[in-house]
Every structure is written in structure tokens, then in C-alpha cells.
Amino acid sequence: MTIATADKRALVLEVHHRLSKIYGNQIKYFHDLDPLSELVSALLSHRTKNSNSGKAFDNLVDQFGSWEKVRDAPVEAVQEAITPCTWPEQKAPRIQQVLRIITELRGSLQLDFLADMDVAAARAWLEELPGVGPKTSAAVISFSLLRGKALPVDSHHFRVAVRLGIIEAKIGEARSHKVLEDLLPPGFTAQEVYDNHQVMMRHGQKVCFHYNPNCKECVLLDLCPTGKGILDKKAGKNH
């Protein structure tokens, strides 16, 4: 069943309010990084647990002391430093490539100039960099000290939205960023957009699991066609 856009907006807002009662609002930002550091952190985090990408990031800071030194170091040294994350042999050269390109384009290694651009332009600039897609650009804008209005969508967030019928799985995570952000109230502040990311992600982590979601305990069950279907199927098997 296709849901009209106006109904989707109402659904998104209702979901946001219900989840905010459980997971909170005005949620504290988990990073206080400048945008360049946040970019490196985001590149390390691809398909990696936060704890492991955090170790890799800390290793870079502790061992090299500056992004210029990371840029200019032997790639083997960078790769060794980021071994806690997945695919260090791919991420090390990619991070160095990105750092070199930023230096060439800007004449220095920093991204503070993004604060003077509107969000759409800043994200477009970032997404010209190799390996930077919508999730990474949104993370840099939202999570860094820029504290901009951008909605990152991780796999948990995406899964919850698909199961609720807000989006279709076939659009994929990359395209879902703009669709989901456009369904949020236009008056949402950057903090509220960040809160939406956080509550959707946390619900996916704590209730709406990839396997065996805990639909019986879900505060969204009455809104969720997937959850109703799962419970109906289980009820049928028990008869």
C-alpha cells in the first residue's frame, strides 16, 4: 500500500514524538570535532562498529598528532594505525587521498569554510570527494562542531523507516537521506533533525532488530504493517 506524502509526513512526526518519549530529545552530540576530524572519523566508520572506528581515530591522533602528518606519512604506517577498523588497507590510502585533495583545493588542510556555505552547497562540495556519499556528508555537517541541519541515515534508521512503510527498501540507503529529511517538518531545528536520527537509530538497535525484531514490545506496533504481519504470522503458527 502506497502512503500519500502528507500522510507520510504525519507518520514521521508521530514516530518521532513516540520515540522521543523513550529515547529522549535534545540529545547530547557524541562528538565535539572540527569538520575535518569528523570527516576522517566518518570515513573510518564505514561498515565498522563505533568502538573500533573510535580506536582507529584515536590511534591516528595519538601517533601522528596532525592531519598533515597523516596525509604525508607512509601509507603502511596509516594502515597499521587504523587496523581496529574494517578494511584498513582500503581506508588508509583513501583517507590520505582525501586529505591531499582538500589541501590542493583549499591550500590548507581544514574544512571550517563549510560554515559559511548553506547546507546543500556544503554537502555537494563534500560529496565531490572520493568515498564521500550522503551519509558521510550529513555526518560531517550534523555531528561536527558545524552542528548543521542534515539527517544521516544508518542501517538501523533505514530498516525502521522501511518496516514502517515510510520508504521502500529498493531506494537504498543513499537515496533515502533526502527522502527522509524532506519528510521532516521544515521548521525542525538542527538539534531536532539530529534527535530524529538518534531515536530512529536507537530503536533499530534496541527493538527493531534485523533478525527477530521485538514487535510485541514496540511502541510503534499499531503504526507498523511489518510488525503486525510478523505477529499475525506467529499467531497463525500457534493455532
Per-residue pLDDT of the chain in tens (239 residues, 90 and over written 9): 567 778 999 999 999 999 999 999 999 998 899 999 999 999 999 887 888 899 999 999 999 999 999 999 999 999 999 999 999 999 999 999 999 999 999 999 999 999 999 999 999 999 999 999 999 999 999 999 999 999 999 999 999 999 999 999 999 999 999 999 999 999 999 999 999 999 999 999 999 999 999 999 999 999 999 999 999 888 776 54
pLDDT given at position 237: 65
Nearest Cα residue to 94 out of 147, 153, 33, 42: 42
pTM: 0.91
Nearest 10 degrees: CA dihedral of 13, 14, 17, 23? -100
From the options 3.40.50.300, 3.60.20.10, 1.10.1670.10, 3.30.360.10, give the CATH code of 5-27+152-234: 1.10.1670.10
Domains 5-27+152-234 and 35-143 share a fold: no
Backbone angles phi, psi at 191, to 5 degrees: -65, -40
Residue in the block written with cell 595519538: 62
pLDDT given at position 2: 60
Helix axes 5-23, 172-183, angle to 10 degrees: 90
Q: 3-class DSSP state for residue 82?
A: coil
Residue spans of the domains in the chain: they are 5-27+152-234, 35-143
pLDDT given at position 238: 59
- Alpha-carbon torsion (98, 101, 107, 113), positive or negative: negative
Residue in the block written with cell 602528518: 69
CATH class of 35-143: mainly alpha
Q: How many CB atoms lie within 10 A of CB 84?
A: 18
